[in-house]
Amino acid sequence: MPRTGTLTQKVALEMLGVGPCYHMVDVLADLDQAQLWERALDGEQPWTEIFDGFNSTVDWPGGYFYRELMDFYPEAKVLLSVRDPQGWERSMRQTVWAVRHGESLIRLLSSAQAHVDPRWRGFLKMIDRLVWEEQGTFSAGHDEPDQLIDTMHRHNEEVQRTVPAERLLVWRVEEGWEPLCDFLELAVPDAPFPHVNDRTEFLNRIIDGSLEVLREWRARESLVEPSFAAGS
């Protein structure tokens, strides 16, 4: 699930040599990627296009398609990262949920950006399908904390029923290197386990990105404003 320390996981997997690791930040860095994920939501399997040059993936969109990916990559192992439900719900509410709901600054800026940036508009369309609408992760409801938490529990239980035990690790980022390295059959690095404040990173990427696009749009609009000369 998103908001389970996935950016920390990305860094950790890359430190272990199983990167580059695909993450939502890669979609934010190249919004044209949203079109590939739209194709996946339509039932296609553009996995070789999406993951060209990558050796692992964490977070959504990839995690949403864990069943398809574990079939397409039969040698791959599956990491189910978990987190305490209440802390996870607060994090989701302040980040992923806030981008599309409520009257927060991040939602207002994101919606304004969508009015002037077709690529961002396409990204949000993909996110709505992936997360909020009929086939999305939280289509059963998300306004109340219990609704988000219930969906998280159902997802975690489904993964554990679906993935063969020998391919699955249920893990919290607080557990650090040892269980992860044992699962991947890799040596524990001679370095501290990373910690990335992905809430701050998420908010900064969305807010700063929206502000930059809106500033550029305002500058362009200023250049084409009509000028008037007083006649005599």
CA distance 155 to 141: 14
pLDDT of residue 177: 97
pLDDT of residue 219: 82
**Domain spans in the chain, listed from the N-terminal domain onward:** 6-214
| pTM of the predicted protein model | 0.86
In 3D space, the residue among 63, 108, 105 whose CA is nearest the CA of residue 82 turns out to be: 63
pLDDT of residue 119: 93
pLDDT of residue 232: 42
Assigned CATH topology for domain 6-214: Rossmann fold (3.40.50)
pLDDT of residue 223: 63
SS3 letters across 96-141 = HHHHHCCCCHHHHHHHHHHHHCHHHHHHHHHHHHHHHCCCCCCCCC
CA distance 98 to 202: 11
CA distance 201 to 174: 19
- Mean pLDDT per 10-residue segment, the chain (232 residues): 94 97 94 97 97 97 97 97 96 90 87 90 95 93 95 97 97 96 97 84 73 76 57 46
Cis peptide before 226 (omega within 30 of 0): no
